[in-house]
Amino acid sequence: MNKIAVSVVVLTKNEEANVAECLSSVKGWADEIIVVDDFSSDKTMEFAQKYADKVLVNKMKVEGTHRNWAYSQARNEWVLSLDADEQVTAELQLEINKILANTDCVCFSIPLRNYIGNYWVRYGGWYPAGKVRLFKKSKFKYEEVEVHPRVFTEGKCGHLKSDIIHKGYPDFEHFLASVNRQTTLEARKWINTNRKMSLFKASWRTIDRFFRTFIGKKGYKDGLVGFMVALFASLYQILSYAKYRQMSNEATNKIQN
């Protein structure tokens, strides 16, 4: 089978448990595989070198900036962006082969099949939850912020039907650790962009996010997992606010002293 003219770019940081499975899912299909590693201290680099055409090291300070730099290293115009805990299905490979043969789009969103442990989370807004992962690098860039950077594209965006498998959370411990890490970055972003947030607004978001996730988006159909997803979604809101208040107070005290 001829390789498709797509560069797969994978960002890594201590991903020895996942990276081999990720890269093997595109080996032999993609024309180029690039791994950009954030100074891993485990065997990520060793595993990556077995599969990737190019392994680069670059410190991630700002996510959006880091991603834009990584994509600029690709030799192909079309880039497929993956995280190390994601895998490309055979169905998605075939769909990309077909769609890129004739398209006027500059990017495509792809459904993510998200797992917690071995459980596929189908509700609560977690599926299909398409994200723009396939794009022409000259027509695409991320907002250069630390967390949840927005996507900017120049042209029409299409939507694929086949999935990327995302095994991001081996268990609830890892899920909660992710929430803790992301809320720190979210609070810092609010500070850096001078966003104003009140306790009332944060409390409303906390309550609203739980009920929208668990009831509105039918998270209850996922049972206990769906309840935990909704709970963590609401926790994200109030925890971000608590960290924001703490950071604001620390900054004020530093100025006064």
pLDDT value at residue 248? 93
Is residue 257 situated within a structural domain? no
Examine the fold and report which residue of 154, 169, 184 is the final residue of a domain before the chain moves on: 169
pLDDT value at residue 106? 98
**Residue 144 contacts residue 190 (beta carbons within 8 Å):** no
Identify whether residues 185 and 165 lie together within a single domain.
no
**What is the CATH classification number for the domain harbouring 126?**
3.90.550.10
How many Cβ atoms from other residues are within 10 Å of residue 51's Cβ?
20
Is residue 55 situated within a structural domain? yes
Identify whether residues 181 and 93 lie together within a single domain.
no
Is residue 106 situated within a structural domain? yes
**Residue 196 contacts residue 184 (beta carbons within 8 Å):** no
Identify whether residues 8 and 113 lie together within a single domain.
yes
Is residue 255 situated within a structural domain? no
Identify whether residues 34 and 95 lie together within a single domain.
yes
pLDDT value at residue 1? 58
Identify whether residues 9 and 97 lie together within a single domain.
yes
Examine the fold and report which residue of 137, 169, 201 is the final residue of a domain before the chain moves on: 169
Q: How close are the terminal C-alpha atoms of the chain, in Å? A: 67
Identify whether residues 134 and 188 lie together within a single domain.
no
List pLDDT tens digits, range 124-180. Answer: 999 998 999 999 999 999 999 888 899 999 999 999 999 999 998 999 999 999 999
Strand partners, 11: 36, 83
Examine the fold and report which residue of 124, 141, 169 is the final residue of a domain before the chain moves on: 169
Q: What is the mean pLDDT of each run of 10 residues along the chain (257 residues)?
A: 90 96 97 97 97 97 95 98 97 97 97 97 96 97 89 96 95 96 94 92 97 98 98 97 95 80
Identify whether residues 220 and 116 lie together within a single domain.
no
Range of the domain at 143: 4-169
Q: What domain count does the chain have?
A: 2
Is residue 243 situated within a structural domain? yes
pLDDT value at residue 145? 84
Identify whether residues 176 and 163 lie together within a single domain.
no
Identify whether residues 152 and 40 lie together within a single domain.
yes
Cis bond upstream, residue 128 (ω within 30): yes
**Residue 107 contacts residue 96 (beta carbons within 8 Å):** no
Q: Provide φ and ψ at 32, rounded to 5°.
A: -145, 140
Strand partners, 80: 8, 134
Rounded Cα distance between 182 and 65, Å, is 17
Is residue 180 situated within a structural domain? yes
Rounded Cα distance between 155 and 90, Å, is 27
Rounded Cα distance between 5 and 216, Å, is 41
Identify whether residues 144 and 24 lie together within a single domain.
yes
List pLDDT tens digits, range 179-188. Answer: 999 999 999 9
Rounded Cα distance between 50 and 72, Å, is 22
Identify whether residues 229 and 111 lie together within a single domain.
no
Identify whether residues 127 and 177 lie together within a single domain.
no
- 143 DSSP 8-state letter: -
Give the three-class secondary structure for 162.
Answer: coil
